[in-house]
Amino acid sequence: MPANDIDKLKAILAQAKLTKSQIARLLETTYRNVHRWLEEGIEPQPIWSKRIDELFKDTVDVIPFIDKAVKGISDPSALLRANDKLRDKFFLETTYNSNAIEGSRMTLKETEQALEGKNVRGKEQFEIFEAVNHRNALKFMLDEVKHGFKISEAYILNLHSIVMYNFHNKLPGKYRTGYVNLTNTEIKLPAAQLVPGRMEKLIADMHKKPEHSMIKNAAICHYEFERIHPFFDGNGRVGRLLLNTHLLSHGYPPALIRIDDQAQYYLGLGRADMGENNNLIQMIGESVVRGYQLLQLAMVVEPVETTK
- The residue range of the domain holding 297 is 68-301
91 and 160 share one domain = yes
179 and 261 share one domain = yes
**CB-based burial label for 129 (10 Å; 0-12, 13-18, 19+):** middle
Tell me how far apart the alpha carbons of residues 239 and 7 are, in angstroms, rounded to a whole number: 34
Which residue, 23, 43, 60, sits at the end of a domain? 60
What SS3 state is found at 121?
coil
- What's the pLDDT score for residue 160? 98
- What's the pLDDT score for residue 294? 92
Per the structure, the count of domains in the chain is 2
State yes or no: pLDDT of 212 exceeds 60.
yes
Tell me how far apart the alpha carbons of residues 239 and 229 are, in angstroms, rounded to a whole number: 9
Within a domain: 122:
yes
Identity at 276, one-letter amino acid code? E
**Closest to 91 (Cα-Cα) out of 141, 135, 133:** 135
**Closest to 38 (Cα-Cα) out of 46, 68, 30:** 30
40 and 189 share one domain = no
Q: What is the pLDDT of residues 260-292, one digit of tens each?
A: 999 999 999 999 999 999 889 989 999 999 999
Alpha carbon of residue 262 to chain centroid: 11
Q: What is the pLDDT of residues 2-58, one digit of tens each?
A: 668 999 999 899 888 889 999 999 999 999 999 999 999 999 999 999 899 889 878
Within a domain: 306:
no
Is the Cβ–Cβ distance between 98 and 257 less than 8 Å?
A: yes
262 and 152 share one domain = yes
Tell me how far apart the alpha carbons of residues 141 and 81 are, in angstroms, rounded to a whole number: 11
CB atoms within 10 A of CB 170: 17
pTM: 0.86
